[in-house]
Structure 1
Amino acid sequence: MSYATNLIEPRPAPPKVASRMSGSRIIGFIGLGLWILLAVALVYMMISNWDTDKFVKYGPRYLSGLWVTLTLVVVSITFGALLSIPIAFARMSKSRVLNVISYAYVYVFRGTPLLAQIYLIYYGFGSFKAQIESVHLWWFFREAWYCALLSMTLNTAAYQAEILRGAILSVPRGQSEGAMSLGLSPFVTFRKIILPQALIVALRPYGNEIILMVKGSAVVAVVTVLDLMGQTRYTFSRTFDYQAYLWAAVFYLTMVETMRHIWAWLEARLTRHLKR
């Protein structure tokens, strides 16, 4: 056995490279500083122009509108999730008829603005009052709240169907093949093997969709629904104070940030077994 007699001489560590302030970094710091100054200025204006009388008079309206917004979002997301399941399976179906119908539905509702859909449902169905009364559904389509709920449900169902379909297709085919080799039925395979993995993949897109619906719900104010934005428009029409919209922005930002943190906690909780 031979031993090395000449060892490699130790070498000093490479010199530490001093960080340089590049042009892009300087521009980034300047932009960040401007955003901070803007935020401070907005907070200062809101505090300095605080009007207790307006707060007492219109504050309850904001809370009422906030409740309407949350109700619309929660109910539409729930119904949309239920509706998205058959649509997603129809999109993956081998039946050409089901595939074409579901594709057309998703294509239309994802390709057109939510505002246009609300207009078509609220004002469009209102043009057929006699026909709708004949089937005893006028009680539904005459109310702006129900029309807004229907529009939001149909819209989010299209997006959720694509989220669910993509998540299911992302699960490797070997998972279902392994379940079949063990003699599991297709229903059990989907419920206990495919769906849990697909929902983890779809978790973040679902959170994004909920946040988009929270912000998109503001358009229902154009059909006289007194949600948060509807109450904001009412307040501004009485006071002509631009702070009415600033406070609405604060409410929306609070809802979005709260939802983001809740969803981040939920995602971390459900995926803790995947972390090393």
Structure 2
Amino acid sequence: MEQLSAWFTELLADNSIFTARTLGYYGEGLVTTVQLVFLSLVIGLVIAVPLSIARGSKRKWIKMPIFFYTYVFRGTPLLIQLYIIYYGVVFIEGIQDTWLWVILEEPFYPALIAFTLNTVAYTTEIFHGAIKATSKGEIEAARAYGMSKSLMMRRIILPSAFRRALPAYGNEVIFMLHASAIASVVTIMDLTGAARLVYARFYAPFDAFLFVAALYLCLTFAILYLFRYLERRMLAHLKPQS
């Protein structure tokens, strides 16, 4: 981290393209990237939890549509999904005459929809696998205490599944951060869009994109640190006692 900080200082001091104005572009892009990733992950997590429970249903008419949804969104590139939603909204008959058009004409919201639907598919499968991995002993103990299915799900299965899913979900969060770089293709001024703007104005591709790569790296390190901390706190009972 000290070497990275020294590289930042040297880059800002020696390169004339990093002015207050260009750094403002990067600041705006950073805010947009964080907003897009954070909102899609929060909304996606809220939707994915009930879907992951329903995904394990014994009724085919419940689980099969969820399986098909996750299969399609995990089996196609996020960029294609973004294009379909961003450009496809225009062709919905009558959409431009409704209040929804005020929201959807801004590129941020179609991108948010695409990112949310994508992360819901992955998160649903992550939590579904974690729920399936719940030990029979935990379930039998909960039944022995007379817990109902809903109470057992809230107090036993979901907390246990969340702890098991934490490492995989941390990878999903990092994946969404890196995938957010494609948002600039629909004219969103995110970090990558800011780098493109700086490159177009100063014709300095290496400086512009290396700087934004360093920002993504710092965000990734922050996410890794957060999830390592959560894993230490939530999985502390699994460590052998000295």
Tell me if TM exceeds 0.5. yes
Q: What's the offset of the Cα at 1:173?
A: 2.1
**Structure 2 equivalent of residue 105 of structure 1:** 69
C-alpha offsets along residues 49-82 of structure 1, whole Å, 9 cap, x if unaligned? 8224533220111011001101111110000001
SS at match of 2:57: coil
Q: Deviations over 1:3-41 (max 9, x none)?
A: xxxxxxxxxxxxxxxxxxxxxxxxxxxxxxxxxxxx99x
Residues 55 and 120 of structure 1, relative CA distance in 2, 3 Å threshold? same
- Name the counterpart of 1:214: 177
- 2:41 corresponds to: 77
In structure 1, what is the Cα distance between the partners aligned to 2:147 and 2:171?
A: 34
AA in 2 matched with 1:158: A
2:142 to 156, 179, 185: 179
TM-score (norm 2): 0.91
Instruction: Provide closer, same or farther for how the CA distance between residues 86 and 193 of structure 1 changes in structure 2, counting only shifts above 3 A.
Output: closer
Partner of 1:94: 58
1:262 aligns with 2:231: no
Quick check: 1:204 aligned with 2:201? no
| 1:147 alignment counterpart | 110
Alpha-carbon distance in 2 for matches of 1:107, 1:50? 49
Q: Is residue 274 from structure 1 mapped to residue 238 from structure 2 by the alignment? A: yes
Q: Which residue of 2 aligns with 1:232?
A: 195
How far is 1:135 from its partner? 4.6
Residue identity opposite 1:247 in structure 2: F
Selected match of 1:60 from 3, 19, 24: 24
Any runs of at least 4 consecutive aligned residues in structure 1 with deviations exceeding 6 A, and if so which?
none
Which is greater in Rg? 1
Which 10-residue stretch deviates more, 131-140 or 212-221? 131-140
Question: Match for residue 209 of structure 2?
Answer: 245
Structure 2 unpaired stretches of 5+: none
- The alignment's TM-score, normalised by the length of structure 1, stands at 0.80
Letter in 1 for 2:111: A
Alpha-carbon shift at residue 189 of structure 1 (Å): 1.1
Question: What's 1:116 paired with?
Answer: 80
* SS of the residue 1:225 aligns to: coil
> Given residue 211 of structure 1, which amino acid in structure 2 is its aligned partner?
I
Structure 1 counterpart of 2:186: 223
Measured in 2, the distance between the counterparts of 1:219 and 1:53 equals: 24
Structure 2 distance, partners of 1:48, 1:194, is 50
For residue 18 of structure 2, give the secondary structure of its aligned residue in structure 1.
helix
C-alpha distance in 2 between matches for 1:85 and 1:133: 33
Per chain length, whose mean CA-contact separation is higher, i.e. which structure has more relative contact order (CA < 8 Å, sep 6+)?
2
Cα separation, 2, equivalents of 1:102 and 1:88: 9
Residues 47 and 228 (structure 1), Cα distance of their counterparts in 2 relative to 1, 3 Å cut = closer
Look up the SS of the partner of 1:54 in the other structure.
coil
In structure 1, what is the equivalent of residue 123 of structure 2? 160
What is the letter of the counterpart of residue 120 of structure 2? A
Where 2:200 maps in the other structure, the secondary structure is helix
Matched length: 235
**CA distances 1:168-190 after superposition (whole Å, capped 9, x unpaired):** 11111232122112211112211
Once the two structures are superposed, what CA deviation does each residue of 1:144-163 show, in whole Å capped at 9, x if it has no partner?
00011111000000000001
> Amino acid of the residue matched to residue 149 of structure 1?
L
Q: CA deviation at 1:214?
A: 0.6
